[in-house]
Amino acid sequence: MFLENALMTQHDSEAVDMVLVGAGIMSATLAVLLKELDPDIKLEIVELQESGAVESSNPWNNAGTGHAGLCELNYTPDNKNGPIDIKKAVTINTQFEVSKQFWAYLAGREGFGNPREYLNAVPHLSFVRGSKNIDFLKRRFDALKTHHAFEDMVYTEDRATMAEWMPLMMPGRDADEPIAATRAMNGTDVNFGELTRQMLVYLAAKPGVKMSYFQKVTGLQRNGKGWRVEIKNTRDGSNRTLDAGFVFLGAGGAALPLLQMSDIEEGKGFGGFPVSGQWLRCDNPEIVKQHQAKVYSLAAVGAPPMSVPHLDTRVVNGQKSLLFGPYAGFTTKFLKYGSALDLPMSIRPSNLRPMLAVARDNMDLTRYLIKEVMQSMEDRLKTLRGFYPEAKAEDWRLEVAGQRVQIIKKDPKKGGILQFGTELVSAKDGSIAALLGASPGASVTVSIMLDLIERCFPEQARGEAWASKLGEIFPAREKVLETDAAAYREIVAVVDRKLGLAD
């Protein structure tokens, strides 16, 4: 279908409708969506590692928070001259609910796994210390409560109530220290690695789908209206080519150099700022059972949003653990298993000015990262004790988190800006797309991939067949969920029952 009149195929190349690079949550979600919309699509997923979900989708490489704007204070910036801005929190909340609709649909499909293996109900809390931060949290709560997505949120400054909400965090705390918290009971913990695995297993059983591991993309060239993808097998050194009508670059931090390899005009000027991370992890069941929540606080001055400290319940393979962090760091790698040459090799004439501008304008961030890198274990435990005053060193160990590559892009005034979040970059003709950036990417993957489908396959997306199927999968999209309180409540209740999050 997509190949018709799209490619000039040579006899030594294999032809497919589409190639998806990277076997993480992004490619898996896009592939499943497209196969549901058109079962005849022929696609191949190519992955550098030995299996899917090895990098950012791996459960120990991310916080596993189902980002819904319930506890993340950086999603509600403080406008000193006016009310708290809740727009981003509402957007992310409705996008996460769209993700849940897709997962609920898949839960009813033959051959798909149990949602309880990757999705668990875990309350989301925001916790602050000090009078100034309490004032911010109270104003944030008042602003969020005006929207139906946050109507069940509760605020307290009462220590006895907080002792019920987060019993691990209260003993040993200074009795005179002003503290406050909000709680949303409809929060979730998501094992994105297990979700990705279930999607890949579901895909592998379908005709026209090929999963290829130990595969490195070494070349991307225009080929008619499509693309010629050159691939090297890293185990035996063999090379092959794929001709595809569409290419998706969903390889986490590696998406940027792949986008540069394509040489599309829309990808020029982008750079990457890699930020590494570490967690403190506790598996002691006596400690773990005392904390059933994801508790987020405020980031340190000069820290990137991804470094917002939080103490999290994690559920991985049926076992509960606690994670605290992340502790930021710096490396020139774009992937956890990448190369130290990734950053220098990504510098181009088109992105040099934006990257230099970001370096000039973000000295506070640079100093913060240097400070983080220099921390000792005792320094990390001191930060943890701001959350959990009685924490003991013997209960915690260091866990290396996944690599995040924040977006650097052109700016007409500053020359370049450092952008947190995710950005979808696509060619004008829709034949290739790349996803850049980081959090809250995994939680809102479905909305991002729906945006990609509408951009890159506009005719099919507007056609009766695809529109009808999308309507079956998604009872309501983001705008309806944002504006129609009754529809939001009704759909969320149905979806939560299907996913085992409610009775």
> Is residue 96 scored above 60 in pLDDT?
yes
pLDDT range class, residue 301, cuts 50, 70, 90: low
Provide the CA 474 distance to its chain's centre, in angstroms.
20
Task: Give the pLDDT confidence score for residue 115 in this predicted structure.
Answer: 96
Which helix (DSSP H) or strand (DSSP E) does residue 282 occupy? strand 271-282
Residue-number span of the structural domain to which 463 is assigned = 14-272+416-488
Whether residue 315 is contained in a domain is answered as: no
> Is residue 287 scored above 80 in pLDDT?
yes
**Residue 38 token pair:** 């058109």
Whether residue 225 is contained in a domain is answered as: yes
**Residue 450 token pair:** 């729906």
141: left (phi over 0), alpha (psi -120 to 50) or beta: alpha
Task: Give the pLDDT confidence score for residue 11 in this predicted structure.
Answer: 47
The enclosing domain of 143 has a CATH number of 3.50.50.60
pLDDT range class, residue 52, cuts 50, 70, 90: very high
Length of the chain: 503
Task: Give the pLDDT confidence score for residue 306 in this predicted structure.
Answer: 61
Whether residue 152 is contained in a domain is answered as: yes
pLDDT digits (tens, 9 = 90+) for 67-90: 999 999 999 998 777 789 999 999
Tokens 């989708």 locate to 57
- Cβ–Cβ < 8 Å for 328, 306: yes
Whether residue 404 is contained in a domain is answered as: no
Q: How many domains does the chain have?
A: 1
Cα 418 to Cα 409: distance, rounded to the nearest angstrom: 7
Looking at every residue in the chain, the average pLDDT score rounds to: 93
pLDDT range class, residue 9, cuts 50, 70, 90: very low
Whether residue 395 is contained in a domain is answered as: no
Task: Give the pLDDT confidence score for residue 367 in this predicted structure.
Answer: 77
Tokens 């994105």 locate to 192
Whether residue 289 is contained in a domain is answered as: no
**Residue 181 token pair:** 């918290």
Lowest-pLDDT range of 32-41, 269-278, 288-297, 361-370: 361-370
Provide the CA 134 distance to its chain's centre, in angstroms.
28
Task: Give the pLDDT confidence score for residue 302 in this predicted structure.
Answer: 58
State mean pLDDT over 193-206. 96
**Residue 276 token pair:** 């590494």
Which helix (DSSP H) or strand (DSSP E) does residue 418 occupy? strand 415-419
- In a 10 Å sphere around its CB, with 0-12 CB exposed, 13-18 middle and 19+ buried, how is residue 116 labelled? middle
Amino acid at 423: E
Nearest to 477 by CA among 503, 446, 501: 446
> Is residue 305 scored above 70 in pLDDT?
no
Alpha helices by DSSP H, listed for 263-410, are 285-288, 342-345, 349-361, 363-373, 377-385
> Is residue 269 scored above 60 in pLDDT?
yes
pLDDT digits (tens, 9 = 90+) for 327-359: 887 889 998 889 999 999 999 999 999 899 988
> Is residue 48 scored above 90 in pLDDT?
yes
Tokens 């506790």 locate to 282
**Residue 382 token pair:** 């001191």
Q: How many helices (H) and strands (E) does the chain have?
A: 16, 20
Tokens 């079962």 locate to 39
**Rounded alpha-carbon distances, angstroms, from residue 70 to 126, 226, 493:** 8, 42, 17
State mean pLDDT over 471-488. 98
Span between the terminal Cα atoms of the chain, in Å: 43
Query: What DSSP letter does each residue of 122-189 carry, written as one string?
Result: --EEEEEESHHHHHHHHHHHHHHTTSGGGTT-EEE--HHHHHHH-GGGSTT--TTS-EEEEEETT-EE
Whether residue 484 is contained in a domain is answered as: yes
- In a 10 Å sphere around its CB, with 0-12 CB exposed, 13-18 middle and 19+ buried, how is residue 23 labelled? buried
Whether residue 338 is contained in a domain is answered as: no
pLDDT digits (tens, 9 = 90+) for 204-227: 999 999 999 999 999 999 999 999
